[in-house]
Structure 1
């Protein structure tokens, strides 16, 4: 079985799972939004964690169910980042994975770089997305800031926004294969660096402005641990009043909260409708072209 923290060669990918062939999409089903799903740590030791995170049996809901919320006018991509965090000092930093995400997004959006983006983030995946958006926002070269400007919605599944180190340690400690103490220490350091980088952006109100934020929280204890891996209070950003932040409790633990057996699954139906409706709200409230044409913020 693969380790939670990969020691093999680095592998990053942004796999398009819907539509199967973008070159044969009829004009009336043109792609209007990019949906990017980012997984958490591989605590279940899965070989394809970027897919298993969002799968129940053979049902991969971002591919099989979610497009119906957008009348199939969307492109769904899964970001794969090493099945987890590596054991080296450099690879334990979230900012590195955020850099790879930015590069792959730029490469995959050449045909329409201004298309709106929706991120679906599970656990630590949310920290990686935040790292990417901060770097894109602060970009002075004029190359990657378009990613920040085009991001219209962030949907977090059990992503810790407060007490980050404690929550990430809980997640890593719940792995089916015991996590070494020195790896946990590297994670603590990575979390401290992450919080330090995020603080100025959050203080200035830049990270969540002009986009809808949804926080889904798993309400069930994680199997075998007898605890919530991420506390409710830590999943709520409690951002400024002018931010569009919403909170929804979800029946399930840290992993099962992202897995729905069918479109008739009550939890899945609620989550998917919430994502779909709020995407339309975000696109209507914050048109992408209006944001792009505005002067950039200066620090």
Structure 2
């Protein structure tokens, strides 16, 4: 693979959690879509934040519930970029995280590189995905541009699209293990640099064209103190011709991603929204048609 990625660390992983037995393939259960789930900052000091972000008493809904929305004809992968028990300087390396995500996606999609992609992200995880899509969109080598072309839907849970540095500082400052001031400053710098890189593409709608965007916003204060991300900051306000939907969720910054069962009203709402809109996005923007179109030029 061409050396278009920066140096990376071994802690990165793209874990396939569904189907659990990757060697067992039933013909009528052909995989129709790849779902990539990306955690945010580990403010609750969990050992396995890439799993615990989406888990309630051992039940992880992207693995145990979400596949039923697609007749189990999907593959669910969890991206892990920092399982440290605190918010540290590793969390500020958005470019390195997006590089590793792109590399792992390319390696794991060799069987079908054109399979539609859906990204489900929590807070900073959404920033990493936007970095990855921007890099894929601007790729001139022809290596990773396919990731941008095949992405059909983006799902964000409390990802700040405006006032990014302020929101991310609020999230990091709420950690159960105090975040060092120097790390907060590094996060501020990383967020400002992220905005500078992404803003030109967002203004032209390059990150959202021919795909559907869903923003979920937690309505409850975290630990009863404050909203870590304001409602207005979770709304992209993209161009009218692009598809963006916004839904409030009963829960705080972390509980909005955890559901006790499929009967939970919040879980039912989230899963139906993701499932129905994924099929809508794939029907409206078939990957086969997009791959035959000329690449955007600036």
Does TM, normalized by the shorter one, top 0.5?
yes
Once the two structures are TM-superposed, the CA of residue 86 in structure 1 deviates from its matched residue by 4.2
CA distance in 2, matches of 1:289, 1:34: 16
SS in 2 for 1:24: coil
Give the match for residue 87 of structure 1. 89
User: Which consecutive residues of structure 1, in runs of 5 or more, have no partner in the other structure?
Assistant: 1-8
Once the two structures are TM-superposed, the CA of residue 78 in structure 1 deviates from its matched residue by 0.2
Structure 1 residue ranges (4+ consecutive) displaced by more than 2 angstroms after TM superposition: 83-88
Give the match for residue 112 of structure 1. 112
Give the match for residue 5 of structure 1. none
Once the two structures are TM-superposed, the CA of residue 208 in structure 1 deviates from its matched residue by 0.5
Give the match for residue 257 of structure 1. 256
Give the match for residue 238 of structure 2. 239
Once the two structures are TM-superposed, the CA of residue 22 in structure 1 deviates from its matched residue by 2.8
Once the two structures are superposed, the pairs formed by residues 151-170 of structure 1 within 5 Å of their partners are 151-170=151-170
SS in 2 for 1:99: helix
Once the two structures are TM-superposed, the CA of residue 23 in structure 1 deviates from its matched residue by 2.7
CA distance in 1, matches of 2:123, 2:256: 11
CA distance in 2, matches of 1:236, 1:197: 19
Once the two structures are TM-superposed, the CA of residue 246 in structure 1 deviates from its matched residue by 0.1
Give the match for residue 284 of structure 1. 283
CA distance in 2, matches of 1:205, 1:44: 34
Once the two structures are TM-superposed, the CA of residue 53 in structure 1 deviates from its matched residue by 0.3
Answer yes or no: is 1:43 the counterpart of 2:43: yes
Give the match for residue 267 of structure 1. 266
Answer yes or no: is 1:179 the counterpart of 2:210: no
How many residues align? The count is: 288
Answer yes or no: is 1:15 the counterpart of 2:19: no
CA distance in 2, matches of 1:250, 1:92: 27
**Contact 1:41 1:83 (C-alpha < 8 Å) held by counterparts:** no
CA distance in 2, matches of 1:21, 1:278: 27
CA distance in 2, matches of 1:294, 1:49: 39
TM-score (norm. length: structure 1): 0.94
